[in-house]
Structure 1
Amino acid sequence: MMAVVVALALAPLAAGFQAAQVKESLVRREAFGGLGTAKKSGFDPSTALGAQPPTGFWDPLGLADGISEEQFNRFRTVEQKHGRIAMLAVLGYVVPQYVGTFGDVYLSTSEKVKFSDIPLGVQAIFKIPTLGVLQILLLIGILETQFPNVNGDYGTGYFGQFLEEPVKSKKLAIELSNGRLAMLAILGLFFQDVVSGGKPFDGPQFSPETFTSL
């Protein structure tokens, strides 16, 4: 939980540094030989959806230099997808911890594995039956090939509603921010999971004797 709290706390604090970060990003791109995307292709990613507080347009390695609008949209689509996966992953930690799962209901009757037998977090990977892992991979394959991401809505709209501009872009911008925060949060949970021995919300336990006053 600490990772989620820290990420939420840092996001608004960083907003004040947006202008400086944008300027620094441009300086770094020039230092690495970046000529600027707009000069090469006529497309300026710094004005595209996603260039928003707290970081603004942040591309220190110049990955967007010289790419077409089509390629940039592909990158943005991938980011949207990763953000959504990260948000679900954070829920996958929070819900079993504070709400619970299906308890003694069998996850696999053939292998006698119950939901209560599946630990929280990373260790769950090693407890899920092989057939279950294959089913998950099959579902991922179907989603990747049969439901392409079209401007963030996967062709299904926003909870069944097809939004018009500028409402759609506003909601996608909010989703991008939430997805970026979730990616930071899930990374923090992964690290805390490993460090705490499978108890990411408890965090590492320190003895009071290890701290000294300043």
Structure 2
Amino acid sequence: MALHMMRSSAPATRAVTRAPGVNRVSSVRVRAGPQETVGSASRRQAEVMAYLETLPGQGTSSGPFKGVWDPLNLAATATLPDMRRWRESEITHGRVAMLASLGFVIGEQLQDFPIFFNFDGQIKGQAINQFQQVGQGFWEPLLIAIGLAESYRVSLGWSTPTGKNFNTLKDDYDVGNLYFDPLGLCPENEDELFELKTKEINNGRLAMIAIAGFVLQELAEPGVEIFDHLFFTIIRDVDYEIDIVEKDLGLPPSIPLPELPEYQKGQPGF
């Protein structure tokens, strides 16, 4: 998830970007300064679409959709600064969602262990209910850490807010690149870097859908943790398949079927 944070070998104004396995190379110069938003609507839209085609996470590399996926036709009225800001937002939200999805599941599994800020064992139950159970001693350093991280990100990529460039990114800012690569994982090869950025944006999009699904699922079934939904059905199905094979071979059952949780008893398919 930190791949967009890593050092990039391609600056924001680079003219050529190529995805792995793609022979066609875009020759459109992608500059995002305000001077490129001047002109006719058709020219502006063409510039926006040309910029989108150079981004990771578009076309066959992020199937099943081909080309630029824009069902709401937002690019029709957007400017290049708009698209760069939206891409920055998508990358940032994707990274947060990946952390949230992981923390959602892990938090529920570690609640029985007296570690971190749960020494008294008061943090328990569904993850959606653990937020308000955390003590004040956790929130103060967290807010400070978030403030420092966001201040660094804003200073790196966002323009000084004035009347002309309010809520815009710097022209020379490589969107999503925070130059954070402590393990030196960022490849020097542009095709490899493009592929890793595509994987990051795809995983971020999936994580945003996943964390929303986690929250809605726990709201729909109070008291049932997300781990029960993720793994009980898989274990049950595997045990049933093994039982069928053992019966066909005339063998005694070796694996007892798991006991259904109370909330699933009597439901169709159980």
How many residues align structurally?
Answer: 171
Aligned CA RMSD, in angstroms, stands at 3.1
Contact 1:157–1:163 (8 Å) recurs in 2: no
The residue type equivalent to 2:133 in the other structure is K
Shift of 1:146: 1.2
Q: Does 1:160 align with 2:184?
A: yes
Q: Does 1:200 align with 2:258?
A: no
Q: TM-score, normalised by structure 2?
A: 0.54
Moved more, 148-157 or 164-173: 148-157
| 2:71 pairs with one of 49, 54, 60 | 60
Shift of 1:169: 1.7
The whole-number CA distance in structure 2 between the counterparts of 1:106 and 1:47 is 45
Contact 1:106–1:115 (8 Å) recurs in 2: no
Contact 2:105–2:226 (8 Å) recurs in 1: no
What residue is the counterpart of 1:27 in the other structure? Answer: none
Q: After TM superposition, list the pairs within 5 Å mapping 1:121-132 onto structure 2.
A: 121-132=127-138
What residue is the counterpart of 1:116 in the other structure? Answer: 121
Contact 1:105–1:114 (8 Å) recurs in 2: yes
Runs of at least 5 residues in structure 1 that lack an aligned partner in the other structure: 1-34, 108-112
Structure 1 pair 169–138 and aligned structure 2 pair: CA distance change class (3 A): same
Shift of 1:75: 1.1
Which protein has the bigger helix share? Answer: 1
The residue type equivalent to 1:202 in the other structure is D
Shift of 1:47: 1.1
What residue is the counterpart of 2:47 in the other structure? Answer: 42
What residue is the counterpart of 1:142 in the other structure? Answer: 148
Deviations 1:159-209 (A, max 9, x none): 43443312222111111111111111111111112222241232493442x
**Based on CA coordinates, which of the two structures has the bigger radius of gyration?**
2
Contact 2:45–2:79 (8 Å) recurs in 1: no
Structure 1 pair 97–141 and aligned structure 2 pair: CA distance change class (3 A): same
Moved more, 54-63 or 74-83: 54-63
Structure 1 pair 106–157 and aligned structure 2 pair: CA distance change class (3 A): closer
| 2:201 pairs with one of 173, 176, 186 | 176
Shift of 1:139: 1.6
SS of the residue aligned with 1:205? helix
Contact 1:37–1:43 (8 Å) recurs in 2: no
The whole-number CA distance in structure 2 between the counterparts of 1:37 and 1:60 is 18
The whole-number CA distance in structure 2 between the counterparts of 1:194 and 1:43 is 40
The whole-number CA distance in structure 2 between the counterparts of 1:156 and 1:86 is 18
Structure 1 pair 189–37 and aligned structure 2 pair: CA distance change class (3 A): farther
Shift of 1:48: 3.3
User: Which stretches of structure 1, 4 residues or longer, exceed 6 Å deviation after superposition?
Assistant: none
Aligned-pair identity in percent equals 26
Structure 1 pair 36–206 and aligned structure 2 pair: CA distance change class (3 A): farther
